[in-house]
Amino acid sequence: MNRLLDTRRRFLSHFGAAVASAGFGSHLFADGRPPVTKPRATDGDERFEPNWDQRLTITVGQTKADLVGHDDRVLQAAVDYVARLGGGTVQVLPGTYTLRSAIVLPSKIRLRGSGADSIITKIPSQRVDLGADSDWYDQEITLKDAKGFRVGDGIVLQSKNPHNGSQTVVKRTLVARSGNRFKLNDGLRENLWLSGKPTCASLFPLLASEYTSDVVIENIALDGNLDNNENFNGNYGGCIFLQDCNRYTIREVTARKYNGDGISFQICHDVVVENCHSHDNANLGVHPGSGSQRPLIRNNRLERNNLGLFWCWGVKYGLAEDNFIDANRSYGISIGHCDTDNVMRNNEIRNSGKIGILFRDDSRGQDFWANRNIVENNKIFDSGPEDGVAIDISGKTKDVRITNNEIRETRMPMKRTAVRIGKDAGKVELTDNRIEGFATTIDDQRATT
Do residues 334 and 387 share a domain?
yes
Residue finishing a domain among 163, 182, 201:
201
For residue 86, tell me if it sits in a domain.
no
pLDDT digits (tens, 9 = 90+) for 209-218: 999 999 999 9
Cβ of 399: how many Cβ atoms within 10 Å? Answer: 16
C-alpha span between 41 and 45 (Å, rounded) = 7
Mean pLDDT of 193-206: 97
For residue 66, tell me if it sits in a domain.
no
C-alpha span between 100 and 31 (Å, rounded) = 50
Q: Which pLDDT belongs to residue 29?
A: 59
- 96, β-bridge pairs: 119
pLDDT digits (tens, 9 = 90+) for 122-177: 999 999 999 999 999 999 999 999 999 999 999 999 999 988 889 999 999 999 99
Do residues 250 and 265 share a domain?
yes
Q: Which domain holds residue 181?
A: 127-201
pLDDT digits (tens, 9 = 90+) for 329-342: 999 999 999 999 99
**pLDDT for residue 1 is more than 80:** no
Fill in the amino acid letter for 353.
Answer: G
Do residues 340 and 301 share a domain?
yes
- Among residues 160, 238, 155, the alpha carbon closest in space to that of 200 is found at 155
Contacts of 84 (CB under 8 A, 6+ apart): none
Q: Which pLDDT belongs to residue 26?
A: 42
In contact, 241 and 271? CB cutoff 8 Å:
no
Do residues 356 and 412 share a domain?
yes
Do residues 138 and 215 share a domain?
no
Residue finishing a domain among 149, 179, 201:
201
Do residues 241 and 290 share a domain?
yes
**pLDDT for residue 3 is more than 80:** no
How many domains are there within the chain? 2
For residue 68, tell me if it sits in a domain.
no
pLDDT digits (tens, 9 = 90+) for 47-100: 888 888 888 999 999 999 999 999 999 999 999 999 999 999 999 999 999 999
C-alpha span between 442 and 449 (Å, rounded) = 16
Full 3-state SS string of 342-362: CEEECCEEECCCCEEEEECCC
C-alpha span between 50 and 8 (Å, rounded) = 10
Do residues 268 and 414 share a domain?
yes
Q: How confident is the model at residue 31 (pLDDT cuts 50, 70, 90)?
A: confident
In contact, 367 and 340? CB cutoff 8 Å:
no
C-alpha span between 224 and 123 (Å, rounded) = 9
- Average pLDDT over the chain reads 93
Do residues 222 and 113 share a domain?
yes
**pLDDT for residue 2 is more than 90:** no
For residue 219, tell me if it sits in a domain.
yes
CATH number for the domain including 305?
Answer: 2.160.20.10
Give the whole-number percent of the chain exceeding pLDDT 70: 93
For residue 144, tell me if it sits in a domain.
yes
Do residues 339 and 366 share a domain?
yes
For residue 309, tell me if it sits in a domain.
yes
Single pTM value for the model = 0.91
Do residues 197 and 246 share a domain?
no
C-alpha span between 140 and 381 (Å, rounded) = 53
CATH number for the domain including 189?
Answer: 2.40.30
Residue finishing a domain among 172, 201, 230:
201
Do residues 136 and 224 share a domain?
no
Q: Which pLDDT belongs to residue 21?
A: 42
Do residues 218 and 283 share a domain?
yes
